[in-house]
Structure 1
Amino acid sequence: MPPSTAHTPPPTPALKPTRPAQGPPSARATAADKTAPRPARSEAPPQTTAETATEPVTTNMRVFVPSAVGILAIALWAIVAPDHAATVIGSMVSWVSKNLGWYYILTATIAVVFVVFVAASRVGRTKLGPDHSKPQYSLFSWTAMLFAAGIGIDLMFFSVAEPVTQYYGPPAGQGETLEAARQAVVWTLFHYGITGWAMYALMGMAFGYFAYRFNMPLSIRSALYPIIGKRVHGVAGDAVDTAAMLGTIFGIATSLGIGVVQLNFGLKILFGVEEGLAAQIALITLAVIMATISAVVGIDKGIRRLSELNVFLAIGLMLYITVTGKTAFLLDALVLNIGDYLGGFADMTLNTFAFDRPDEWMNGWTLFFWAWWIAWAPFVGLFLARISRGRTIRQFVVATLTVPFLFILVWLSVFGNSALDVVLAGNDAFGQVAMNQPERAFYSLLEQYPGAPLLIGVATFTGLLFYVTSADSGSLVMSTFTSRIKDPGKDGPNWLRIFWSVATGVLTLGMLMVGGVATLQSATIIMGLPFSVVMYLIMAGLYKSLRIEAALAESLHTSLPGALSGRAVAGPQRSWRQRLARSMSYPGPAQAQRYMNLVALPAVQEVAAELRTQGAVVELTNGTVEGAGCSQVTLTVVLADDPDFRYQIYPVEHVTPTYAPRAQGRNQTYYRLEVFSMTGSHGYDLMGYTKDQVITDVLDQYERHLEFLHLQRDFTGSAMADQADAPEDWNADFAMEESKN
């Protein structure tokens, strides 16, 4: 195991999708000095340049105003004229189902194919961040947060209600049969399964890739930059973010509406609180207050801890039902469900029921779920990206598709099959309640088990936490959507989080007044439609950028390092004595600085001077790294309309391993002088190279970059032409737009 890192450099800007800044060399050198890297601990939040770190977070009024006005207007319309709202929403849903059902199903299928293809391809090794970046959260904390944010109290709602309803009224075939019982949980798994999580993975992958690898703002418009260029800062970008806002808030409101009616029934059982609008208003108010506090506190202290507690309580409920129920039957059913789901996945994914036309069933189930997942995709995707910096695309996709789904698989199988067992045993009254009053289904099942009052209390508290984690994550993300944030490590301001918490509560109340959960489901089908178009644009933009990544990887193998050094890119050839001396050396900051002064810096300066002689525009910066006691040097070759070449030698502090020779009395840490490019560290140490070998390494990397540019043109065709009218760079463009506001 390699020694752990105590200091690592901040992420360097990735290959820019725009042409570099033009101007006199002195001006460019000044700009470079502003972005000199600073040390940061590997477990720290993502670092940015000194320039972006000081930029204030401001409200994007061109997204906030139309989103806020539109959402509040819809909420007030529902509250003031509920009958008219119900009629209009019902008509729109009928039209969408009749004419665009195929579109929703095809979109969901394409999303699955796309993310699996990207993860399995060679670009799956690309990190959501610089190459040297490390994950910020442990696997458990990460999966707990993505699960609790992605699926909340609605999982408790549908885990009993849907299997029972599918048993009584399947989309095809006769209900109340053993075959209907067998397929009931499988349909529920399908609606909560890999297809929906693929949409989350798509959005999270796009957000994280463009924000942490390209240093773009953590927004949807960033993912569209490869497609529409600087127009992302205009009406097109605002429209995309507004569409995401509308879909997101209706998706969240649907979950909160489901949670309100279910928790209301739980409180009735526990404390005799009557079901009705008054109790639901009180619950919405309580949830808004709790969600606001959690969102303002932040991810680490609020959302993460609530998410982890959520998972523990949910696992406890599931284990209790498994142990105290028919354990052998539940385990048999679990294995059967897995086989049926895997065997029928392709058929269910593309099944539009063209001949039978169970439109009412499609509206209530598959179309609703796909629209719901699409509506939640920008919200959960941005949140996943926010917590996934440093993971590879392949790790991200595999974990997002499998880890939460494995939990969902077991949860739905345990509770769904337990409910079906009660119905098959002759308790038709329970089945009718679960089908016709789904908010009572989960609690009605718990009443069948010993210790029901305690179980119901735990379930109510768990549901409240699910409710809050969905609401606080939503307010956090929506505040980001409606803000101008250059640093992807920052979130929207507190007042915006509070506003969106309250707005979500008002919208939830309005939809409940119109017609309850059914109306929320219908509204979600409508509001998810415009953002589904955006998803196609995001896939196109991500595909285009990842092809450039493929060109970068290809250049590693086809560049010409052997012409000068006769070695692979890993490092110049050294004598065996040099190699042995390097492996026995653990230099401190003074030794690293001495090598930098005597060898590394002069070598880079010579290359810079020769490049200038050959007519290149070169920037050379160096300075002491704060807290390291050693300096860094950065050589940048400005390449007009192509991505710049950067070669940076940066001191990285590591813990001295216990096996180090004569470790007694040595410093606890040592330094490596690692080589960084636009995409991060290359992972090797220059200490011990001769001056000529350092020069050779610079030239090797430069030739590799030129080969990349050549391959990039082959991959992208007119990609460079698409950027011909682009602004000087993303940050300059961002600053220009900000100054207008």
Structure 2
Amino acid sequence: MKRLTPVFTVSVIVTVLFIVWGLLPKSILPNGNLDHVTTMVQSLILEKFGWFYLLSASTFLVFSIILIFTKYGNIRLGKDSDTPEYNYLTWFAMLFSAGMGIGLVFWGVSEPMYHYYSPPFLEGQTPDAARAAMRYSFFHWGLHPWAIYTVIALGLAYFQFRKGAPGVISSILRPVFGDRVEGGLGVLINFVAVFATVFGVATSLGLGAIQISGGLSYLFEGINNTIGTQLIIIAIVTVLYMLSAQTGLNKGIKYLSNLNIILAISLLLFLLFVGPTNFIMDLFTTTIGAYLQNLPSMSFRLSPFDQELTWFQDWTIFYWAWWIAWAPFVGTFIARISKGRTIREFVIGVLAVPTIFGALWFSVFGGTGIYLEFFEGNPVMSTIEEKGMEVALFTVFGYFPLSTILSLLAIFLITTFFITSADSATFVLGMQTTNGSLNPSNQVKFVWGIIQSASAAILLWTGGLEALQRASIIAALPFTVIMLLIVVSLVKAFNSETIHFKDK
């Protein structure tokens, strides 16, 4: 394994130690076990720094939008003669699969249903609650998270492809810290990014295994949604994504990402036209308008005069921290596949396309769930509460023709999303721990692949998946500071550009 850096060594050691800590029984460390410590720290962060996450996420969005309308939008992410490596469809499919694939499938029905029953400042199960449920689902999966990804991806792509810097997070901050990014400070910055990526992706893999298991148990009586089933699923998918990872970026991830989009759009269109089509499209159109109209107020909304209301901490602030924790992973991957695009083209594509698709996804799946409850009195939410949120999607399918086929396709879609997310993560972790190599060795990717799957499996087994998720959220706090410095660094770097750029 050539070209390893201190970041690789430090990250592997700390990651393994963290997993061992999670395995220790509570009887050994009653007040110092992983679950207890991460719960306290996360509660403190969400309670004391919620405002910081809101302001930071909105800063990233405003910065991204401003870039579209400035002369800096003409700068090409690469040499002036470079052209994009992937066409628009493949580019969108790859960034979308890496960014939010499993999450959208997992939360597409359950999040709007949860908000419909328990919205902030409103009575649940009312028309106003339904409107708020859809608006906040759009909000949590819309422009803000993709602006977070935009900042990281833009910084990496600009400095790597235009300035020839290594493709690691620390290299983006050279305009701010100078040569100090080559020493211990750089190692620390890159370690924080790797730490957040490992545990963020491991949690996502755990959630994917839970939903696949839930879907199989929902369809087949002989299969139980148990930890044993989930571990078997992780083992099988691990073999599949490790095989995909060995094929490289232009084969495994590319082909699977295109397959993901085809499957996702097929499921979406089927439910759109077989389900309450007019209601869904009316809901989509109305909610888009309400989302854009209320975007400024939602972006800064907390509950200072209602201290017992924790809804914003539990949802909005948690989401912003979660997206920031995922930003090193998704941002690195988006940067790698975006060489040759102009900044304007890049920002519009990364912000607008996934946001619109996500909004349509929630309208079709979440909107259908609300329709079944509100107009037809079907017990969608009670089934979710009884069997777990991992069966929410399959519950909705159960009310329509070809439900078994739809559910099987959804399970296959989750599996392919699982593979592409894990495959992309091994690639990103390989890049970040080999000084930004665009083609990290298969041995390095193999090490990170095993660590990811082992983390997910061990923490599912010990019930520590939520602790792992909390660890990733905790890592998001220092990384938020790093991201704000990246904005400053990009502004300084753009101001030094003296060439007259033209769109090509």
TM range (shorter): over 0.9
Residue 427 of structure 1 and its aligned partner are, at CA, apart by 4.1
AA of the residue aligned to 1:191 = H
- Which residue does the alignment assign to 2:484? 536
Matching of residue 331 in structure 1 with residue 281 in structure 2: yes
Whole-angstrom CA distance in 1 between matches of 2:22 and 2:363: 37
Cα contact 2:196–2:326 (8 A) shared by 1: yes
Match of 1:674 in 2: none
Question: What residue number does 2:237 align with?
Answer: 287
> Is the 8 Å Cα contact of residues 74 and 503 (structure 2) preserved in structure 1?
no
Identity of aligned residues (%): 36
1:205 equivalent in structure 2? 154
1:5 counterpart residue number: none
User: Which residue of structure 1 lines up, in the alignment, with residue 294 of structure 2?
Assistant: 344
After TM superposition, list the pairs within 5 Å mapping 1:467-486 onto structure 2: 467-485=418-436
- With over 3 angstroms needed to count, the CA separation of the structure-2 counterparts of 1:200 and 1:309, relative to structure 1, is same
Distance in 2, matches of 1:532 and 1:501, equals 26
> Any stretches of 5+ residues in structure 1 without a counterpart?
1-55, 557-678, 684-741
The offset of 1:372, in angstroms, is 1.5
Q: 1:526 aligns with which of 474, 482, 494?
A: 474
Q: Could you tell me which residue of structure 2 aligns to residue 401 of structure 1?
A: 351
* Deviation (angstroms), 1:534: 0.9
Residue 424 (structure 1) shift: 1.3
Task: Go from structure 1 to structure 2 and tell me whether the alpha carbon gap of 1:418 and 1:260 turns closer, same or farther (over 3 Å shift).
Answer: same
Residue of 459, 474, 486 corresponding to 1:511: 459
Task: Give, in angstroms, the shift of residue 531 of structure 1.
Answer: 1.1
2:391 aligned residue:
440
Residue 589 (structure 1) aligns with: none
SS in 1 for 2:86: coil
1:148 corresponds to 2:113 = no
Question: For 1:238-277, what per-residue CA distance to the aligned partner results, in whole angstroms no more than 9, with x for missing partners?
Answer: 0000000011112212221211111111121344321111
- 2:416 alignment counterpart: 465
Residue-pair matches, total? 497
Report the counterpart of residue 497 of structure 1 in structure 2: 445
Tell me if structure 2 keeps the 8 A contact 1:112–1:198.
Answer: yes
* RMSD value, Cα: 2.0
Instruction: Describe the SS at the equivalent of 1:152.
Output: helix
Note the C-alpha offset of 1:426: 5.5
Tell me which amino acid in the other structure corresponds to 1:246.
Answer: F
Distance 1:71 1:358, change over 3 A: farther
Superimposed CA distance per residue, residues 367-390 of structure 1 (whole angstroms, 9 cap, x where no aligned partner): 221111111111111111111111
Q: Distance in 2 between matches of 1:180 and 1:518?
A: 28
Match in the other structure for 2:141: 192
1:317 is the counterpart of 2:262: no
CA drift of 1:513 comes to 4.0
Structure 1 CA distance, aligned partners of 2:464 and 2:256? 27
Pair 1:59 & 2:4 matched: yes
The TM-score, its normalising length taken from structure 1, stands at 0.65
Bigger-Rg structure (1/2):
1
| AA of the residue aligned to 2:396 | L
Which residue in the other structure is 2:406 paired with?
455
Contact in 1 for aligned 2:108/2:362 (Cα 8 Å): yes
Letter in 1 for 2:123: Q
Provide the C-alpha distance between the structure 2 equivalents of 1:136 and 1:542, rounded to a whole number of angstroms. Answer: 23
1:68: which partner in 2? 12
Q: Which residue of the other structure, out of 127, 152, 175, is the alignment partner of 2:124? A: 175
How far off its partner does 1:405 sit? 1.3
Counterpart code for 1:362: F
The superposition leaves residues 471-519 of structure 1 with CA deviations (integer Å, 9 ceiling, x where unpaired) of 100010001101134xx6x222111111111111122234334546644
Cα separation, partners in 2 of 1:432 and 1:291, compared to 1, 3 Å: same
**One-letter code of the match for 1:414?**
V
Report 1:65-104 matches (<5 A): 65-81=9-25, 84-104=33-53
CA pair 254-140 structure 1, distance change in 2 beyond 3 A: same
- Relative distance call for 1:414 and 1:89 in structure 2 (3 A) is same
More helix by share: 2
Q: AA paired with 1:508?
A: A
Structure scoring higher RCO (CA < 8 A, sep ≥ 6) equals 2
Q: Secondary structure at the match of 1:262?
A: helix
Alignment of 1:251-650 (within 5 A): 251-271=200-220, 272-357=222-307, 360-425=310-375, 427=377, 429-435=379-385, 437-485=388-436, 490-515=438-463, 518-549=466-497, 552-553=498-499
Contact 1:157 1:262 in 2 (8 A): yes
Given candidates 54, 59, 65, the residue that maps to 1:110 is: 59
2:259 aligns to what SS in structure 1? helix
Instruction: Give secondary structure in 1 for the equivalent of 2:108.
Output: helix
How far has the Cα of 1:360 moved from its partner?
A: 3.7
- Measure how far apart 1:444 and its partner are: 1.0
Aligned to 2:496, the other structure's residue is in SS state helix
C-alpha deviation, 1:130, in angstroms = 0.6
| Corresponding letter in the other structure for 2:81 | H
Query: Which is worse superposed, 233-242 or 499-508?
Result: 499-508
The amino acid of 2:260's aligned partner reads N
The alpha carbon displacement at 1:398 in A equals: 0.4
SS at structure 1 position matched to 2:121: coil
The AA in structure 2 aligned to 1:242 is: F
Matches of 1:266 and 1:292, distance apart in 2? 24
Give 1:712-723 correspondences, 5 Å limit. none
Q: Cα–Cα, structure 1 residues 322 and 358, in superposed 2: closer, same or farther, change >3 Å? A: farther
Q: How many angstroms does 1:528 deviate by?
A: 1.3
Find the aligned partners of 1:427 and 1:531 in 2 and give their Cα distance. Answer: 45
Distance 2:362 2:503 in 1: 45
Question: Amino acid of the residue matched to residue 394 of structure 1?
Answer: R
Whichever structure has more strand as a proportion of its residues is: 1
SS at 2:379 equivalent: helix
The Cα shift of 1:525 comes to 2.0
How far apart in 2 are the matches of 1:200 and 1:400? 8
Separation (CA, whole Å) in 1 of partners of 2:405 and 2:258: 21
